Amino acid sequence: MTEMMAEELADYLRECSPEKLDVECYDIADAHLAPTPDEETVVVLGMPVYVGKIPLPAIKAMRDIYGGSALTLGLVSYSGRNYGNALYELKQFADERGFKMIGAGAMAISYRAVRGSARSGALVMDSDALRRYAKAASAKIMRLGGCDIEGLKVKPAPLEVKGRMPRHKISRLSPKAAAIAQSVLDVIALRRQESEWFL
Ligand SMILES: Cc1cc2nc3c(=O)[nH]c(=O)nc-3n(C[C@H](O)[C@H](O)[C@H](O)COP(=O)(O)O)c2cc1C
């Protein structure tokens, strides 16, 4: 999802960029190997929602990376039940690590059923929503970068993402218990939420 968002963004930005635009993708666990972004870099920072939060390994990985004030788009994937405080949390960690987050999106995914199995199958992204988010985000980036004279550059208004910092108590659960909790949630949470984003 993160990769697709980056490719979409690059396609839009290429239309107005005299420079060659490259897309580089890193697993969050290897992101410390990436060069520190500069002001010409746009970062897409994505991770899944686990129990309304962002996963602990992703938080740990975030401690080893630095954003260098690069314009950043946050992205969480969730199964359409509830993304809880994950987006808020991602924004807080991104701010702490020097990323300038100008957009935050929660993208619903669904599972394509596998014939003959009651269990979930392949992930299906909400590609339409992702493309709309990428398009709107690229328009914002173009607005912000529209002027070469530093003093006249448009300053982004602070991005507002509602929520609070969750406590990661659930991480004490074993993966097996988490999987059971997940399947119970799947059964009881019938109402699905849509993808949404804030810019
Ligand atoms: C342990 C666990 C907890 C999850 N908790 C939530 C949740 O609270 N809300 C939600 O909408 N989706 C939840 N999901 C679904 C994931 O967000 C979804 O599967 C994920 O975005 C796709 O990434 P994955 O490849 O890690 O599954 C959970 C999945 C797992 C495995």
Q: Which of 37-51, 106-120, 138-152 has the highest mean pLDDT?
A: 37-51
Determine whether the shortest distance from the Cβ of 2 to ligand 1 is under 6 A: no
- For residue 77 and ligand 1, the question of a CB distance below 6 A is answered with yes
In order, the DSSP letters of 51-92 are TTB--HHHHHHHTT---TT-EEEEEEEE-SS--TTHHHHHHH
Number of domains in the chain: 1
Q: Output the residue whose Cα is nearest ligand 1's atom 9.
A: 82
Q: Is the Cβ–Cβ distance between 92 and 58 less than 8 Å? A: no
* Residue 53 alpha carbon, nearest atom of ligand 1: 8
List, for residues 175-197, the tens digit of each pLDDT value: 777 777 766 766 665 567 899 99
* pTM as predicted: 0.85
The pLDDT, as a whole number, for residue 116 is 59
Q: Which residues on adjacent β-strands are paired with residue 124?
A: 110
The pLDDT tens digits for 58-109 are 999 999 999 999 999 999 999 888 999 999 999 999 999 999 999 999 999 8
pLDDT at 185: 65
- C-alpha 79 – ligand 1 centre gap (Å): 6
Ligand 1 binding pocket includes 72 (Cβ within 6 Å): no
Q: Lowest-confidence range among 12-16, 17-21, 69-73, 170-174?
A: 170-174
Q: Is the CB of 182 under 6 A from ligand 1?
A: yes
pLDDT over threshold 70, residue 117 = no
Q: Which residue among 182, 187, 188, 195 is best mutated to probe the pocket of ligand 1, counting the most ligand atoms within 8 A of its Cβ?
A: 182
Q: Whose CA is nearest to atom 23 of ligand 1?
A: 48
Asked whether 107 and 130 are in contact (CB, 8 A), the reply is yes
Name the residue among 66, 21, 19 with its Cα closest to residue 45: 66
Q: What is the CA radius of gyration of the chain?
A: 18
Contact 81, 52 (CB under 8 A): no
Q: Is residue 114 pLDDT above 80, yes or no?
A: no
Q: Do 84 and 77 form a contact (C-beta atoms < 8 A)?
A: no
Does ligand 1 have an atom closer than 6 angstroms to the CB of 170?
Answer: no
Region 1-18 average pLDDT:
93
Nearest CA to ligand 1 atom 25: 48
Q: For residue 23, give its domain range.
A: 2-198
pLDDT in tens, 124-178: 889 999 999 999 999 999 988 764 555 556 677 889 998 988 877 655 667 777 7
Distance 140 CA to ligand 1 centre (A): 29
The CATH number assigned to the domain holding 58 equals: 3.40.50
